[in-house]
Amino acid sequence: MKGLTYVKMGSIEQRNAEIIVEVIDAIHGICKRQQLKLPEFEVILNDFPENDFNSVFKSFPGFIERLKKEKGDMVKERCYIGVVAGSFYHRLLEASTLCILPMCCIGCQCWGGEQGEHMHGKIKSSQCCQSLCTAISERLTNFLSMRSKYIIPQGRMVLTFTARKTPNPSNEDYGLELVAISLLDLVAQGVVKEADVDSFNLPLYAPCKEEVAEIVEREGSFEIEELRVFVNCLNRDEEQRNRDLGFNINMQMGKTMRAVLEPMICSHFVDAIIDELFIKFAENAANSMHQNKVNIGFQWQRSS
C-alpha cells in the first residue's frame, strides 16, 4: 500500500486529533507486526463553510509535532492534512479516492401529519411509521450510493447512528421527550405559546438493525462486515470523571440535539428561543434517565 486516505466528514473539533492518532496507531502497529513499509497518510477533514477554519489550520503544526514526538520523524513526514468545506450530502471528493470513511449520527427526521402527538416523543400512527420507514430507506439508499463513489473497491466505511432496540418504533422516544418537556418549560415561563408547541410535529425515526441490513443489501454498493448494537450508558463514575475534566455531558447532549433540530425548530418558532431551549434541555437531561442511548455500529466494505 503506497498511501491511505482517511476522511472525517462533519463536525471539525478537537476530538478529531485523537481519532486521527488512533487510526495512525492502528496502521503503524499492523505495519510493524507484519514488517511492512508505513504508507503515507492523507487526512481530510470536512465541515460546513460557516465553520472557523482558521482555528483548525492553526492546530495543524501542534498536531504534526505531537506525531513526531510520539511516533518519530518517519510518521511525521508521511502525514498530510487538508480541509474540505461543504455538506457531506453534496459531492465533495473525487471518485475512488478513499480507503477509510468513518461517519456518525446519521438519522431520519421528517415532518409528520398528526397534530401534537410527535412532540410527546412517541409515534403512534401506523401510517406515520410507514411513511417514516419509507423516508429513511430513501435517505439511507441515497447516502450509501453517494458515499460508495468516494471509496475504492474493498475500502471501508464505518457508520454509527442512533437506533432502536425493538422492531416497534412506537416504544422509544429517541430523546424527543426531553425537547417536549423543555418547550413546555418555556410555555410555563411565557416565552412560547402552548398552541405553537401543540402544532409542532417532529417525529424522529431511528431504524432497527434488521431494517438497515435490508436497505444495505438492496442498495448493493456495500457488504456488511460487522454489525453491533450497543447502548451508551453514563454511570456515576463516568459522570464524575466528566465533571473533573470540565466536560458537561448534558450540555453535549443538548448540542447534539440542537445540531439536528435547530433548523426545524427555528422555522416553527422564533429564532430567539433556541439558546434558552437547549439550556433547558441540558437541565432536564441532568434530571432524567435519558442518558441510555441505543446505537448501531456498522463496518461496511465497498463491493467490487
Backbone angles phi, psi at 303, to 5 degrees: -70, 155
The SS3 call for residue 80 is strand
**DSSP one-letter string for 80-116:** EEEEEES-TTS--S-TT-EEEEEEE---EE---SSTT
Grid cell for residue 95: 471518485
Contact 232, 292 (CB under 8 A): yes
Mean pLDDT along residues 29-52: 84
Residue 292 host element (H or E): strand 292-302
Residue 151 host element (H or E): strand 151-162
pLDDT confidence tier of residue 9, bands split at 50, 70 and 90? confident
Residue 255 host element (H or E): helix 249-268
Could you tell me which residue, 161 or 304, shows the higher pLDDT? 161
Q: What pairs with residue 81 in β-bridges?
A: 43
Contact 229, 294 (CB under 8 A): yes
Residue 120 scores a pLDDT above 70: no
Max CA pair span of the chain = 68
The SS3 call for residue 303 is coil
Could you give the CA distance from residue 95 to residue 92 in angstroms, rounded to a whole number? 10
pLDDT digits (tens, 9 = 90+) for 201-240: 776 777 888 888 999 999 999 988 888 887 766 566 666 6
* Angle subtended by helix axes 176-188 and 274-286, to nearest 10: 120
Mean pLDDT, rounded, of the chain: 76
Could you give the CA distance from residue 269 to residue 114 in angstroms, rounded to a whole number? 18
Question: pTM of the full predicted structure?
Answer: 0.66
| Res 115: pLDDT | 37
